[in-house]
Amino acid sequence: MQGQAQQQAYDRGITIFSPDGRLYQVEYAREAVKRGSASIGVRADDGVVLVVDKRIRSPLMEETSVEKIHKADNHIGIASAGHVADARQLIDFARRDSQVNRVRYDEPIGVESLTKDITDHIQQYTQVGGARPFGVALLIGGIEDGEPRLYETDPSGTPNEWKALAIGSGRDDIQQYLEDEYSEDVALEDAVGLALSGLGQVHDEGLTPEGIGVATVDAESGSFIELTNDEIEEYLVANDLLADEEDEEDDADDEQAE
Hey, is 52 helix, strand or coil?
Answer: strand
Q: What pLDDT does residue 255 have? A: 41
Better-predicted residue by pLDDT, 23 or 194: 194
Nearest to 145 by CA among 43, 219, 235, 238: 219
CATH code, domain carrying 98: 3.60.20.10
Hey, is 2 helix, strand or coil?
Answer: helix
Is the pLDDT at 70 greater than 80? The verdict is yes
Q: How many CB atoms lie within 10 A of CB 175?
A: 18
User: What is the pTM for the complete model shown?
Assistant: 0.90
Q: How many structural domains compose the chain?
A: 1
What contacts 112, CB < 8 A, 6 or more positions away?
144, 149, 151, 161
Look at 20-24, 80-84, 103-107, 139-143 and tell me which has the smallest mean pLDDT.
20-24
Q: Is 130 left (phi over 0), alpha (psi -120 to 50) or beta?
A: left
Look at 108-112, 177-181, 250-254 and tell me which has the smallest mean pLDDT.
250-254
pLDDT band at 9 (very low <50, low <70, confident <90, very high): low
Kindly state the average pLDDT of the residues 11-20.
80
d(CA 44, CA 24): 36
d(CA 149, CA 162): 8
Better-predicted residue by pLDDT, 89 or 12: 89
DSSP assignment of 117-137 = HHHHHHHHTTTSTT-----EE
Q: Domain residues for 14? A: 2-257
Q: Distances from the Cα of 154 to the Cαs of 3, 121, 126, 191, 222, in angstroms?
A: 30, 11, 11, 24, 26
